[in-house]
């Protein structure tokens, strides 16, 4: 293990030096502790991305959190970690995780799952430059939002599609997509997740 990663792991497990009940490797005492530890790792990775730390460094706790999920579909909030991994440029990890997540979404029929998984896939494909695949994935999410009573995630799906349209040079399409966002006090509501 490189010295930098070793040093990072020591910082990551700083509570282990204060508590004899927590092993240094990050193993939890029980299922509740495992969930808390997974969420703390994800939060740490997200904070690192927001703070502008190197993508390689920020990806370490995010990937660790993702690996602690019993199955990729333990809960749909797994997509939050995947989004941050897209930001940290861990495209292969995201793509691999999305394969099982999308298979489970199709089995479950969950509107939330469809929106989360396909919006994330759209963002991933956009970042990879695969505009037709990005558009197709994000449109699945938008279609589910339009055909169900599930509304959370509308801003995410629409902005991914608008970004795709901008990248393709279709500014009128981008503007039309953004008009789908709810209006609030004469302005578009920008944080309707």
The alpha carbon of 93 is separated from its chain's Cα centroid by a whole number of angstroms, namely 11
Residue 10 pLDDT level (bands cut at 50, 70, 90): very low
Task: Supply the range of the domain harboring residue 63.
Answer: 1-68
> Is residue 80 one of the residues assigned to a domain?
no
The mean predicted confidence, pLDDT, of the chain is 76
One domain, residues 47 and 140: no
One domain, residues 30 and 92: no
One domain, residues 2 and 59: yes
Residue identified by tokens 């502790």 is 33
One domain, residues 109 and 175: yes
Residue 6 pLDDT level (bands cut at 50, 70, 90): very low
Mean pLDDT of 44-59: 83
* CATH code of residue 178: 1.25.40
One domain, residues 51 and 9: yes
Residue 178 is predicted with a pLDDT of: 94
> Is residue 77 one of the residues assigned to a domain?
no
CA distance 121 to 37: 26
pLDDT tens digits along 108-133: 888 888 898 999 999 999 999 999 99
Q: How many domains does the chain have?
A: 2
Whether the CB-CB separation of 82 and 43 falls below 8 Å is answered with no
- Name the nearest CA neighbour of 83 among 56, 46, 108: 46
pLDDT tens digits along 133-168: 999 999 999 999 999 887 888 999 999 999 999 999
What end-to-end distance do the CA atoms of the chain give, in Å? 39
pTM: 0.69
> Is residue 78 one of the residues assigned to a domain?
no
């Amino acid at each position: 293990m490189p010295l930098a990663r070793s040093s990072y792991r020591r910082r990551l497990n700083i509570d282990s030096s204060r508590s004899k009940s927590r092993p240094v490797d990050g193993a939890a005492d029980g299922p509740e502790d495992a969930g808390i530890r997974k969420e703390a790792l994800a939060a740490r990775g997200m904070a690192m991305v927001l703070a502008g730390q190197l993508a390689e460094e920020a990806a370490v706790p995010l990937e660790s959190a993702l690996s602690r999920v019993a199955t990729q579909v333990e809960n749909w909030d797994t997509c939050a970690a995947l989004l941050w991994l897209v930001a940290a440029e861990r495209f292969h990890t995201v793509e691999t995780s999305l394969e099982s997540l999308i298979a489970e979404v199709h089995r479950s029929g969950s509107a939330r799952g469809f929106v989360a998984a396909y919006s994330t896939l759209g963002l991933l494909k956009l970042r990879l430059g695969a505009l037709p695949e990005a558009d197709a994935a994000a449109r699945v999410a938008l279609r589910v939002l339009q055909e169900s009573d599930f509304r959370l995630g509308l801003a995410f799906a629409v902005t991914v599609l608008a970004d795709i349209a901008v990248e393709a040079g279709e500014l009128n399409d981008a503007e039309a997509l953004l008009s789908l966002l709810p209006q609030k006090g004469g302005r578009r509501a920008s944080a309707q997740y």
